Amino acid sequence: MAALDDAPPPPDRSSRPTGPVPISAAADRVGTTARMLRYREGLGLLPRTQEQPTGRGHRHRRFTEEDLRTIAVGLELEREFDIPPAALAFALRVLAEPEVLARVRAHGERLGRLAAAPTRALDFEQEKAMRLLHGRRT
């Protein structure tokens, strides 16, 4: 019995490593597969890595705790709004590229799903002044 009491306790499986983890461990931590993480990376949905890749030949990316939190937020957005990763990637593109935003907005206006973009405040004030001037002349 004494030998069992002297044995070290079993490792705590619930504790998380503190350093960067490889893609397989990262996928396990966020509840997806390494293949899906690579797909999301191709779509631009993974944060840029701060860690230098390791390994011979192929460079193996490692994920920090902050990377994992960012990935988890993206996955939660996909679940909450019931959208595929490609839809989230396109939404980010719309927000990041003004030309794409303008084209999508114009399409939404043509469909009747979006109201026309509001006029600039200066334009509104100019139109108001012109109406007042024309009104006084008559």
What does the chain look like in DSSP terms, one character per residue? Answer: -HHHHHSPPPP-TTSPPSS-EEHHHHHHHHTS-HHHHHHHHHHT-SPPP-SPPBSSSSPBPEE-HHHHHHHHHHHHHHHHHT--HHHHHHHHHHHH-HHHHHHHHHHHHHHTSSPPPPPPHHHHHHHHHHHHHHHHH-
Find, among 131, 123, 115, 40, the residue nearest to 78 by Cα.
Answer: 40
Q: What tokens appear for 27 in the block?
A: 């996928």
2-43: pLDDT as tens digits: 444 554 554 444 555 578 999 999 999 999 999 999 999 999
pLDDT tens, 87-134?
Answer: 999 999 999 999 999 999 999 999 999 888 765 666 777 777 878 887
For the chain, domain boundaries: 19-49+59-137
Band (pLDDT 50/70/90 cuts) for residue 46 is very high
Q: How far apart are the first and last CA of the chain?
A: 108
Which CATH architecture group holds 19-49+59-137? Answer: Orthogonal Bundle (1.10)
The band of 138, judged by pLDDT with boundaries at 50, 70 and 90, is very low
User: What is each CA distance from 5 to 1, 2, 12, 61, 71, in whole angstroms?
Assistant: 7, 5, 17, 41, 42
Q: Are 66 and 28 in contact (CB under 8 A)?
A: no
Model pTM score? 0.66
